[in-house]
Each structure stands twice: as structure tokens, then as C-alpha cells.
Chains A and B, each alone.
Chain A
Amino acid sequence: MSTNLGVWIAAFLTLGIMSFLYKDNPIYKFCEAVFVGVSAGYWFVTEYFTVFLPKVWDNVETAINVLQAEGRMDWFHWSYLLGGILGVLMLLRLVPKIGWISRWPLAVIVGTTSGLWLINYLVSNAMVQVRQTIIPLYVAGNLNASIGNIIIVVGTFCGLIYFFFSKEHKGVFGGAAKVGIWFIMITFGASFGYTVMSRMSLLIARMDFLVGTWLGLLK
């Protein structure tokens, strides 16, 4: 048995969470409440230190210092105040009458990222993937690689046909779509099977902690 208080707390919390597997119970509810509260608080504090202080506070402070020391407006640093004002506008949601103003900062966020996503997805998901699928169908002297490459190209082609929305999946087209979803299912199965090891690792580590570190039953 461990004599470390931290270990005991951790063991209590671990068992509390795991008890959910049997059924919902007061100990799980307690752990859940602690978890939700502490994590929300943690998140808030991290945002405060990693975003608010460096991005808003420090920049505005610099701008004020420049204004006091040199008497000029440092527009670069002042501009971050604008970001802060947009952030405050977001809070106007809490005032029902003018809540709609919060759509402005929202529009800035959505607009910024929609432009970014458009390019990002088009380049790294569409163009780069097309480029990587361009492989020779025949590799001299390597039958395995040749067959593998042909299957990859056919599989990608059929998989794309499956994702066609505006054409009925009938006849040859439907057949290809079917082959496409077969390929997709193989991948899903493989990815499921592969993840089992990662998830079991997590449980093994927890059990090792409970049985070994806490109870001291191993070795």
C-alpha cells in the first residue's frame, strides 16, 4: 500500500470514474462535478495567461508607454485594442436588446477562417492528395508493387464515386460506388483494430497504477 497522499487521491478519483461502468452513482457524480469545475477553471486561466495577457494587455501597455514616453501613437500596438473591443462586443449577447451586435465579432471569426479553410482544404486535402495518388501503374520488375499501385488507384477512384451525390448509384456507376464503400469499410475496420492497442495501453497503465503503485501487489 502506498503511503503517498497524491497516490491515494488519484486512486480514489480513478475508481470513482471507473465506477460509472457499473452504474451512475454518487461517487462518479462527485468526480464528474470536480472534473467539470476544475477543467473549466483551468481553461479560463490558461486563456487568460496565454491569450489575454500577451495579446491584449501587453500590446496595449506598450502602446500607452510609447504614447507617454514619445508622445506618438503606436498604431501597430493600438490595433490590438480593436481586437479587444470586438471581444467585448461578443459579451453584448448578455444584453438581450442589443445582443445582435455580437454577430459582428462572429462575422470576423467566421470570415477569417472561411477564407483560410478554403485554401487549406483545397491545397492540402484535394491537390496534395491528387498529386500523391499519381503513381505508376507498372513498376518494372516488381509485381507486388505494380498490383498494389493499381489497387490504390482503383480504390481511390471508386471511393470518390461513392461520394457522388447528384447521380443515382445504379448500374456500372453503382457497382463502382459499392467497391468504393468496400474499400472505405476495410479502412474503418483496420483503424478500429489498430486503435484497440492504444486504448488497452491506457487501461493497462491505470490498472498497473491501481494494483502496483497504489496497492503494491505487483512484485
Chain B
Amino acid sequence: MKLFDRLLAIDRRIIFLLVAIAVTLPLFSKTILHIEISPMVKGVYDAVNNLPPGSKVLVTFDYDPASAPELQPMALSFFRHCFSKDLKVIIMGLWPQGPIQANIALEDVFRIPEIKAKNLKYGEDYVNLGYMAGNEVVIQRMGSDIQATFPVDYSGNKTSELPLMKGIKNFDNIDFVYNLSAGYPGTMEWVQFAVDRFHAKLGAGNTAVQAPGMYPYIPRQLVGVLGGMKGGAEYEIIDKHPARAVSYMLSQGVSHAVVVFFIIIGNLAFFATRGKRKTSE
């Protein structure tokens, strides 16, 4: 019984330490946790996979560094998938720090030997249009004229002079839109404006907290959604290129198990000592 009393009064720092270990140790392991592919992720993957080479994909970065742990791996695996299929990528952001996150992801993807070998050129294979203020109004304006909405790209080049942007007028010329979002403006706005008004084809990657809110839109307005780190890992698995998210999933699994374990131990101790406490009270 002593043990249970001690467990109930456990120093919080021991829990903290165990959480830190549960998160850190698995980072050293190469074990890959078995992950079921959900239909939501498969929906996005299939939509991209079925695009013919040369198709134009618009990727919108609507998040900032605070949500990067969850969304950055999704950006990376999506870029890898697009470039390996020779799709043309157009990047933009409705959050000021979004296009910067995109550049970080691009740097990372170009380190992959297979992509590096393709020798992709800015302006021909991919462009970064940068950030535009105005939230959903930006999407609305893009519906009539993308080049007028973004007269210059992230580094100040005239959009009309970029070879990739030739012939791109509005959403009719975009084959797929992929939205990475951590809040407002985000997937909800893209559904309401790009899909409902201009009939774009949309897939999304969201934080774990947000993703369930998007389920009602699938599959009519949204081909699928990647939810949190797990969604990112599923995409990497289905794409057969396990990367960062997959390697982190072991940490997720262990740390979740540890939290559940704490709850169970706490309850065991609670019930084991309950009778005793009643008498002493």
C-alpha cells in the first residue's frame, strides 16, 4: 500500500522526466511504427498521383513557425511527391511567415538526391509568389486573375515574366490546390471560396486539433485532409518515402502510451488507497 500512496503523491518532475525520455529516446531508433492509411490521406495522395506530368499545383502555406512541427513534414513530402512526378508547383501564403516556411521546405527537398538530380529551375518548375494580405479576399481575387493578385513574386520578379505563370489566369488553369493551414485564414476559407465559388480541386493538411473540423467537407468539397503529425506520416508511408513524420511517430506512440499509462497507474493507486482514506477521514 505504501507504494500506491507514494504514487499518488509522486513528484511532478518524475513525470516530466519520463515524458522527456519517452519523446527523446525513440528519436534514436530506426523502428517504423505500423501506420494504417486512412481514406482521408489516401484521397489527397490519389488526387496528386493521378495528375499527368506538367500539371500545375498551387500550394498555399497558411501557418507560422509555431505550427511548423506538425505541418512542415507535410510540406516536405508533398513537394517531394510533386517534383518526382514532374508537376509544376506554385507557392503562395495567406500568412506572412508562410512563404518563408515554404522556402525552408524547398531547401530540404532539394537535398534529396533524386530531386537534386532533376536540376529544377526557379520560374520554370516552381515559383514562390509570396505572402498577400487580405485573407479570403485574396482567394476571391485569384478567382478572376492570379497574376493581377500577385503582380510580383517573393523575390520581386514580375509574375507575368515567369515562364511557369504563362497561361495561368485563374483557378481554371490550376489542376490541384493543396492548403497547409493552422487556423484562420485556412482550409475553411479555401473550401468556401476556391472550391464553392471557383470549383477548384482541393486537398489539405491541418494541425491535429483542426483536422476533425474538416471531415464534413470530405469528399465533396475536399479530396482529403492530413491531420497532424500522423497524417503527415501516413502520406510519407503511402508515398513510399518515409521521412521525418514517420520517424517521429514512434515518439508519438511511446509518449501517448506513457500518458495513458500514467492515467491508469494513477487510477489504480487511487482505488487501492480509497478504502483506507475513507476510514481515516
Contacts and interface: CB of A to CB of B under 8 A. Distances in A.
Given A204-B251, A212-B27, A218-B27, A197 B256 contact: yes
A51 to B, nearest CB: 14
Interface in A173-219: 191, 194-198, 200-205, 207-208, 211-212, 217-218
B230 A204 contact: no
Interface stretch (B78-86, B118-126, B172-180, B207-215): B207-215
B252 to A, nearest CB: 6
Contacts of A218: 27-28
A22 interface: yes
B18 interface: no
A107 interface: no
User: Main secondary structure on chain A at its contact with chain B?
Assistant: helix
A218 B251 CA distance: 14
B27 A211 contact: yes
A196 B259 contact: yes
A21 B19 CA distance: 12
Which of under 10, 10 to 19, 20 to 34, or 35 or more describes the interface residues of B?
A: 20 to 34
A197 B28 contact: no
Contact of B208 (A21, A201, A205, A208): A201
A203 B21 CA distance: 11
B160 interface: no
A54 to B, nearest CB: 11
Nearest to B258: A200
A197 B20 CA distance: 15
A200 B23 contact: yes
Contacts, number: 64
Contacts of A194: 208-209, 212
Which of under 10, 10 to 19, 20 to 34, or 35 or more describes the interface residues of A?
A: 20 to 34
Given A197-B256, A200-B256, A208 B230 contact: no
A196 B28 CA distance: 22
A200 B256 CA distance: 8
Contacts of B27: 204, 207-208, 211-212, 218
Nearest to A191: B209
A199 B24 CA distance: 14
A212 B248 CA distance: 13
A203 B69 CA distance: 9
Interface in B197-233: 207-209, 212, 228-230
Contacts of B28: 217-218
B251 A198 contact: no
A207 B208 contact: no
A201 B229 contact: yes
A215 to B, nearest CB: 11
Given A202-B69, A204-B69, A205-B69, A197 B230 contact: yes
B234 interface: no
B68 interface: yes
Contacts of A212: 27
Interface in A57-89: none
A201 B212 contact: no
B274 interface: no
A197 B13 contact: no
A200 B27 CA distance: 13
B77 interface: no
Interface of A: 21-22, 191, 194-198, 200-205, 207-208, 211-212, 217-218
Given A203-B255, A218-B27, A218-B28, 11 more contacts: A21-B13, A197-B229, A198-B70, A200-B23, A200-B251, A200-B256, A201-B70, A204-B69, A204-B251, A204-B252, A205-B68
11 contacts: A194-B209, A196-B259, A197-B229, A197-B230, A200-B251, A201-B69, A201-B70, A201-B229, A203-B255, A204-B252, A207-B27
